[in-house]
A and B are shown apart, each in its own frame.
Chain A
Amino acid sequence: MSTLTRQTLSHLDWLEAEAIHIMREVAGQCSNPVLLFSGGKDSICMLRLAEKAFRPGRFPFPLMHIDTGHNYREVTDFRDKRAAELGERLIVRSVEDSMARGTVVLKHPGESRNKHQSVTLLEAIEEFGFNACIGGARRDEEKARAKERIMSFRDEFGQWDPKNQRPELWNLYNARSHKGENIRAFPISNWTELDVWQYIQREELELPSIYFAHVRPVVRKGDLLQPVTELTPARPDDKIEDMRVRFRTVGDITCTAPVESDADTVAKILLETASTTITERGATRMDDQTSEASMEQRKKEGYF
């Protein structure tokens, strides 16, 4: 055999190929998967990857969003529009319905509903009999996620057991589960925030407007900027500032903070992302900062 310098894929092409392969494995191995779609940037990339994986056929799974009822209109409108454009089925299940059923009980009316999404998710999994949920979580987001397998097994209570994960060798993924258990599959595990923005740029993906710099009233809370909204009104002693900001991640309004920025195009966001000094969740998530292990804890309880 001859020795030659082999052609290899660019890093973005490699990540794309890996993600497509993972999605196809879920479709090939699991009888009833679902793709979690929030309207956020990671899940928008996931939809493009699903198109590349399965078109000209339909997606072999519906899309599902667990709605806390506290999401930005721009994002939920975008979610609905995108699903309609693709002609794929969108299921929305709401934390408010779980509250009405009494399965989610808030400690106080103002408590963030973010972590309660686990309950609604598990209820929806049971309702539809899903045996795999494809999610857009990335290992670079958080230290517990950095430990999770690409096909991550959850027991019948939706629990992740970080000390006892299935070995995952080569790209021979094991997505098997018994009835009632399920698999969380993470096709973009190996992507960083920068990779996501590079992919958005290359694929010219449309995003909800709040990802781009815009003027919005905010209040400074420590290192974070809290947007002033109906759900998060300013307190009498707060100083409201109109600031040019963008969101690095969009989630529940009560726990997602924007960052100060002038970047109003993907190209400018890319440059900022490449030179940022704060992690994505560090700059934006109020819920991760309560304790050192809060993500791990939530995942053990069935979170994404």
Chain B
Amino acid sequence: MSAPEQLPDHDHGLLRFLTCGSVDDGKSTLIGRLLFDTKTILVDTLSAIEKTSAKRGMSAVDLSLLTDGLQAEREQGITIDVAYRYFSTGTRKYIIADAPGHEQYTRNMVTAASTANLAIILIDARKGMLTQTRRHSYLASLVGIPHLLVAVNKMDLVDYDQATFERIRADYLAFAAKLGIGDVRFIPLSALNGDMIVDRGERLAWYDGPTLLEILESAPAAHTEQAEDFRFPVQFVCRPQDSSNPELHDYRGFMGRVESGEVAVGDPVTVLPSGARSRIKTIELGGAKLARAIHEQSVTLLLEDEIDISRGDLIVKSSEAAEPVKEIDAIVCWLAEAPLSTARTYLVRHTTREVKAKVARIDYRLDVNTLAQEPASVLTMNDIARVTLKLAQPIVADAYRSNRATGAFIVIDESTNNTVGAGMIA
């Protein structure tokens, strides 16, 4: 093995993005190309997919095999579930989620979208916008992905024609305006030939914007640039009772992750839903004491006063309080084969809290093509609807658009323990 002189010492953090769009628009091929052109694919992986491509009688290497790792996917040439792939440019680490295009697997696309900061929506230049393009765009904006990048792919099959690209752009912008999507950019490319992904290629000279990789390198990594309220759901309470160390005798550490905002030693805090108040005494991370904790950091908080706190409670700054509620309005994506039943009781997991819930009413179901709101009495798989939920115990919630962590929940069917719905509080 040979070695470079040294590793880059600066770190621009991490960007998570997904590829989505309709069936066969080239999502998996695009990721394969991105990995190939950034030299992320190692020799043995490449030779393995070369062999597989040859076995299937293909003349060129099928780059989609890089992410379509399941036997069933390779047999059918489609993506069924999300594949996660990683690459690093030396300055930034990327986590890529390759989502399936088939409508049947929409729930897997929602899984991929929920953690992404940027979505690449592929459109086949020959076909233009399709129902799945609209559905995925809607879902991407619904889960609050702040940056959308529309990639008009297979430009090689339309002779790299600029007018085709412009027409699709105009169609998309008309749709995006209805959704209220703000940050959307467009790029023409050929995933198969590698035009405008890492290299510009020669056939798209009329396009003077950045390449796909350049866009990724400069995209903001955070979901929002806005200051957010501090939200700390307690995951676990640490009481080292059996310890022989007398200093630990009264130790009560509240363990969790800063889901939004930040907190500093001395800050007045309120514990919800009880409403008990105290101040931050210490912030710990692996034995080290920190002056403050920021967004996404997993830490342990110790408070000045002894108050009763357990898993499921939420610690907030007293100046940024939130209200416990027992009824919520939310947009729900139904993810299960068994339809949603308003007669049944479900389990809602919100932050680290689980409560029983019933759907009091389905306000409307959304037609993703027209964005029309239709009346509905039942929801089936992949339906998106606005519902009202009644909860057995209160949760401390924010609207999803102002706080993703305290605005999101999942619905669990207790008979199977399956995750059957994803909800965003209105």
Contacts of B239 in A (CB 8 A): 57
Flag whether A239 is at the interface (Cβ < 8 A).
Answer: no
Q: Which of B168-176, B178-186, B218-226, B385-393 contacts A (4 or more CB under 8 A)?
A: B218-226
Bound-state CA distance A25–B48 (Å) is: 37
Between B3, B238, B257, B405, the greatest number of chain A beta carbons within 10 A of the residue's beta carbon is seen for B3
Q: Mark A126-150, 1 if CB is under 8 A from B, else 0.
A: 0000000000000110111011000
- Complex partner residue of A272 from B1, B44, B236, CB under 8 angstroms: B1
Chain A residues contacting B248 (CB-CB under 8 Å) are 56
A200 contacts chain B at the CB level, 8 A cutoff:
no
Are B42 and A276 in touch, CB under 8 angstroms? yes
**Interface size of A as a range:** 35 or more
A142 to B256, CA, bound (A): 31
Most buried by A among B6, B11, B43, B298: B298
Shortest distance in angstroms between B118's beta carbon and chain A's nearest beta carbon?
Answer: 15
Shortest Cβ distance from residue B244 to the other chain A in the assembled complex, whole angstroms: 11
Which chain A residue has the least Cβ–Cβ distance from B98? A146
Complex alpha-carbon distance, A142 and B85, angstroms: 10
A277 and B238 within 8 A (CB): no
Q: Which residues of B contact A283 (CB under 8 A)?
A: 44
Which residues from chain B contact A189 at a C-beta distance below 8 Å? Answer: 84
A52 within 8 A of B: yes
- Interchain CB contact under 8 A, A279 and B44: yes
Q: Interface stretch among B107-115, B122-130, B153-161, B263-271? A: B107-115
Indicate which residue in B70, B221, B335 contacts A147 across the interface (CB closer than 8 Å): B70
A221: interface (CB < 8 Å): no
Say yes or no: B4 contacts A143, CB within 8 Å. Answer: no
Residues 246-269 (chain B) with a chain A CB within 8 angstroms: 248, 251, 253, 255-257
**A165–B418 Cα gap in the complex (Å)?**
9
Distance from B17 Cβ to chain A, minimum over Cβ atoms (Å): 13
Binds A, one of B198-206, B289-297, B363-371: B289-297
Given A6-B222, A56-B248, A168-B419 in contact, is the A146-B69 Cβ separation under 8 Å?
yes
Q: Which residues of A from 271 to 304 have beta carbons under 8 Å from B?
A: 271-272, 274-279, 282-283, 292-293, 296
Interchain Cβ contacts under 8 Å between A and B, 10 examples: A8-B221, A10-B13, A55-B287, A57-B239, A58-B242, A60-B236, A147-B82, A172-B350, A279-B45, A293-B70
Besides A4-B227, A172-B409, 17 more A-B contacts (Cβ < 8 Å) are A14-B13, A17-B257, A17-B298, A21-B256, A24-B255, A28-B235, A56-B243, A56-B251, A57-B238, A57-B240, A166-B418, A167-B419, A169-B114, A171-B257, A172-B351, A192-B86, A292-B52
Residues of A near any B CB (own CB < 8 A): 1-18, 20-21, 24-25, 27-28, 51-58, 60, 139-140, 142-144, 146-147, 153, 162-163, 165-172, 174, 176-178, 189-190, 192, 194-195, 223, 259-261, 263, 268, 270-272, 274-279, 282-283, 292-293, 296
